[in-house]
Amino acid sequence: MQEQLQPPLSVDDDDDDVARRPKCPPFRPVIFHDGRLVRRPTALMSIAILLWIPLGVLLAVVRITLGLVLPIQALPYVAPFVGGAVITRGRPPAPTTGINGSPTGVLFVCTHRTLMDPVALAFVLGRRVAAVTYSLSRLSEILSPIPTVRLTRDRDTDAARMRAELARGDVAVCPEGTTCREPFLLRFSALFAELSDRIVPVATNYRVGLFHPTTARGWKAMDPIFFFMNPRPVYEVTFLNQLPAEATCAAGRSPVDVANYVQRILAATLGFECTTFTRKDKYRVLAGNDGIVGAKPAATAAAAATKPGWQRRVKEVLGFLRFTKID
């Protein structure tokens, strides 16, 4: 998963030397990487970022406050005045009701670029959409302007919770299970295909100028704050057509086939590449764990057990805002 570079050519090398030189592996794309900065921290860029941070924090507070206070139907009219933009493509499905007049939910299957994906979806739809989440910090849940449904990674329990939420209304799910910054889609979990035949794929993407709003090793609670600290955060939401009945499990297709099909059409829409990497692969590379809340390597856990009690308590309190407890 690391970038491999060809050795440099010297001006003194002749053709025979180049021919005798052992061939190096070709370039491999970087799929997983961490860090908050979008641009290379040159001296001039570092000064610009340091000067922008106070204004960016103030701007993030204003944007988040407006998102919490104003009704979601009003946000599209306010966003341009605070420097944000959401680009919509395709035709969003209209809300529907069942035979007895109760709402029937649409299952929106989104690519997972940041934790703002379901929020941007609800922003465009202008109606309630519940977001299925896991490993979301408590602060992010508090700041979320839409309802969240916390999953457990237990298949039966999660399926029951999602079915119950679909009975109340629309649900947004990101089957990749974690974010990926690069133009790749991780392997889709097939659970969503078993829950509904009303599946609408949604291709989401974002553009920022200074700060990445995702991290594997850092403070997850800061993700939405870093997103809104950018001078002009832009989100792109593209609605695809609802899956036809013959492309769902109702026609006898396996959940894995449905999930792979949705992954392929979303990747084609965004110009991305499908991979078989999973959440575990990402976190093993970047964080040294499986991406499970509270998980830590055995050596780290043993070292933590030898720390004084007051240090463990302080770190547990600070871990309230993190994806994993602080080592």
**Do 274 and 310 belong to one domain?**
no
Task: Give me the CATH number covering residue 95.
Answer: 3.40.1130
Low-confidence ranges of the chain (pLDDT < 50): 1-13, 18, 295-301, 304, 317, 319-327
**Do 321 and 188 belong to one domain?**
no
Q: Is 9 contained in some domain?
A: no
Where in the sequence is the domain holding 206, given as residue range(s)? 44-279
The per-residue pLDDT for range 172-188, each reduced to its tens digit, is: 999 988 888 888 898 99
**Do 208 and 323 belong to one domain?**
no
Q: Is 1 contained in some domain?
A: no
**Do 250 and 127 belong to one domain?**
yes
Signed CA dihedral, 31, 203, 138, 136: sign only: negative
**Do 303 and 236 belong to one domain?**
no
Q: Is 69 contained in some domain?
A: yes
Determine the pLDDT at residue 154. Answer: 80
**Do 57 and 198 belong to one domain?**
yes
**Do 217 and 272 belong to one domain?**
yes
The per-residue pLDDT for range 135-192, each reduced to its tens digit, is: 666 777 777 788 888 888 788 888 888 888 888 888 999 998 888 888 889 899 888 8
pTM greater than 0.95 (yes/no): no
**Do 265 and 314 belong to one domain?**
no
Determine the pLDDT at residue 111. Answer: 92
**Do 302 and 164 belong to one domain?**
no
Q: Is 18 contained in some domain?
A: no
Q: Is 288 contained in some domain?
A: no
**Do 174 and 214 belong to one domain?**
yes
Q: Is 30 contained in some domain?
A: no
Q: Is 119 contained in some domain?
A: yes
**Do 133 and 227 belong to one domain?**
yes
The structural domain count of the chain equals 2
Q: Is 20 contained in some domain?
A: no
What's the rounded Cα separation, in Å, for the pair 37 and 171?
A: 32
**Do 60 and 175 belong to one domain?**
yes
What length does the chain have? 327
